[in-house]
Structure 1
Amino acid sequence: MGRLKYLAGLAAALVLFSGMRAGAAEPALSAKSAALLSGATGAVLWERQGREPLPMASTTKIMTALLALEAAEDLGDPVVTITQEMTQVEGSSMGLLPGDQISLSGLAAGMLLSSGNDAANAAALFLDGSLEAFAQRMNQRAQDLGLTGTHFVTPSGLDDEGHCSTAVDLGLLAREALRLPAFLELCSSRTWEAAWAEPEKTVTLENHNRLLGSYDGCLGVKTGYTQKAGRCLVSAARREGVLLIAVTLDAPDDWEDHKALLDYGFSQVERYRLRGERWETALPVAGGEREQVKITGELGEVFALAPGDRDSLELQAVLPRFLYAPVGAGETVGELRALLDGAVVSSVPLQAAEDCPSP
C-alpha cells in the first residue's frame, strides 16, 4: 500500500451518536489522592489532590519492572545469579535465595505479581551495580516522561526520605508501561509460571490485584502498601476500545475506590461516528479507459472515546498513489482510519465506485 494520507479537522467531521450513556455522579472515595486518566492520550479526566507528592509504596515497581523488561528485550533476557545482597530486603518476596538463577523477565514477573522486593533489588543491582545508580536510571526516565512530582530512591517502593510520586504521575507512568507488550502480559495475568534456571523449577506466582477477574475489562497493573504510604493502587481497564487508568494513594478502601473511579470514567464515554454517509476521493489509473476512478467509503461505524480524546483524533486514508487497470466497481483499494495516539479506533474499507476496464 502506498503513502499514508492524513486529513485535518477530524473533530469537525465527527458527530455525537445518540446512543451515548448518561453521565454519573462524581465518585466518592476513601483515597487521600486520586486520578483518572485516558490511557490513549494521558489526559486527566478527574482528580482529587492528584498532583500532591506522596509515598507510593510498591506501585514504584511499575517503573522498576518497565526498566527491567526493556533491558531484557535489549540484552536478550539474560539470566541473573542471585547474590546475598539482592535478598537482603524486608517485606514481600518472590522467594529468591542466594545462588538462584532466573531471567531478568522472570524478576519482572516477581515484581508485578508477587510484589517481590527481592526481585526489584535483584534487577536493580544486576543492571546498575547499586541501588543508588538504579535510582538515577529511574529518575532519568521519570524526567523523560515529564513526571515532575516524582522522585525515586528505592526500586522496591520501601519508604525512604524523598521517595514519592503523585497520582497523576503514576497514571502517566502506567500508560507508558502498558505500551510494552511484555509488561501488559504480566500485569494482566492472574497467575504466572516463573521458571528458575537454577535450581531447575517452576513456581506459580499469584497476582495481588483483586480486580482481575472481578471487574470487567480490568488489565491489572500494581498494588502497594507500607505503613507510611497506606494502601496504594494503580489499575487499568479497557472497554469498547477505551482504556482508562485509575490511581489512588493512601486509600483505605482502594478496591471499591477503583471500581467507582472506573465506573465513573466509563459512564462518561462518548460514542461518535464520522459525519455524513460517505467519504469520497479519486485515484489515477494506469492503463485504463479513463484517467481516474472515484473512491468511496461508508461512514456509519460508531466508536467510543474517553472524554477529551476527540480533539486528538486523526483521520488517515491508506491508499496507493495510483491503480492499475482493470478496476472493478466495489473493489476494495484502501482503508479509511480514525486514529487516537497511533491506534486505530475505527476503520472502513475504501472501494472503487465505478469500473475502469483496460482498453
Structure 2
Amino acid sequence: MAFNHSDQQELFLPLVEGVHETPPWGAFMRNLVARTYARRAFLIITLANAMPTQEPTVIHVSAPRAVKEPPLDFRRLNALDLHPYGQLRPGRVYGIDEMLDFDNPARLAMQRGALAEMGIRYGRWLRVTAGGVADAWLLLVREREDFSSSAVSTLAAIGPHLAAGLRTLAALTELRLQAAMATAALGRLGAGQLAFDAGGRVMAADPQSERLLAFAPAPDPRGGRRLQTLPAAALALEKACTAIAEGRSESAVVLLDPARDLHLLLRKCDLALPEPRAMPAVIGTLRLDLREDERAGTLVLRDVHGLSEREAALAEKLSRGESIIEAGRALRLTDETARNYSKRIYAKTGTRGQGDLVRAILSGLTPLA
C-alpha cells in the first residue's frame, strides 16, 4: 500500500507523537476511525510485565455520529468467547465471521445476539505484538455496512507501525518506572534535584523541587527557566554554576530562601547519559528536614537488626536525637529498662554508643522506609 501525505499527517505522525499522550494514541484512534468510516473503536494495550490482576489500558473512540452511544464494552466482548485474542495471528486483519463459534449453534446465536445489542454488525480485529514486551488489540466496528477494502488495507498497513509504537511505549514505560522509583526514594529523604546549564538556567527539575521552588522564564532568547528567588541568591547561583562549569570550583552552597533555611548544594554534573544528549553543567540538590514515619522506621530496624519491637522503637527514637531516658519514658519504660535496652541495641547493631547508632541508622534503609 502506497502512503500519501494524508496518511503521514493523519495516521503515522499521531502514532509517533501518541506515545506521549495519556492514555496513548487518542488522536491516532480518532483519525483512524474517521479514515475507515468506523462507528466506534477501541484499542486494548497490555504490557508483558503487568500484574495478572491489572486491567489493560483501553482507549475508546466514537465517530461524531455515535458520540451519544455507550462505548464498546471490551469485558462483555471477552465474555462472548469469541476467537481468543491471544491466538490471533499478529498483523492479520480478522472479520467478525472469523471470530464466531460456528461449531456450536447455541453459542453462535448467543454471540450474534449480544453483538447486535451492542450495535456491532460488522467489525475488524487486528492484533499487534511488540517482541514480547507488549500486545495490543485494535477493534473497529460498523452497524449498517461492511468496511471497504481500502479501510481494511489501511488497517493492515498500520500494524507494523503500531508495533514499533508499542515497543517505544514499553521502553518509555520502563524509563518512567525507573524515574518514579528514584523520585519516590528522594522524596522519602526530603531531597530534590535540579539540572543547570553553565549560566544557571534550569534544564530539568524533579517533582520535589517543582513543589518547593518557584520558577520563571529565562529573560533571554535561549529559553529555559530560572529559579525565582532573591536577587542576591540568583546572582550567587549564576556565578557558582559558571565557576563549576569552567572547573574553577568543585562545589558550592547557595542559600535560596533564608525564611525556610533552604540551601542548594551545587556540584559538577557527572551523569552518564547516552547520545544524543544535552548534558547539564551542574546538579543542584536541596533537602528538607524530613524523617520517615516512625512506625515504618521501627519495623525496618526490627527486621534488619533482629531487634524486638520495643528495642526497635527505642532505637528509632534515639536516631531522632532523643536521649535514652527521654525515649524510654516516651515508650513507658523505666530508666533502668531503657538503659538495658540500649545496651542490647548496641550489641545487636554492632555499634559503639548512641552516636554510632545514629550514624548506622541514618546511613541504612530506615530513612527510606
- TM-score where L is the length of structure 2: 0.29
**Pair member with larger Rg:** 2
| Larger relative contact order (Cα-Cα within 8 Å, sequence gap ≥ 6) | 1
- TM-score where L is the length of structure 1: 0.29
**Of Structure 1 and Structure 2, which has the larger fraction of its residues in strand?**
1
**Of Structure 1 and Structure 2, which has the larger fraction of its residues in helix?**
2
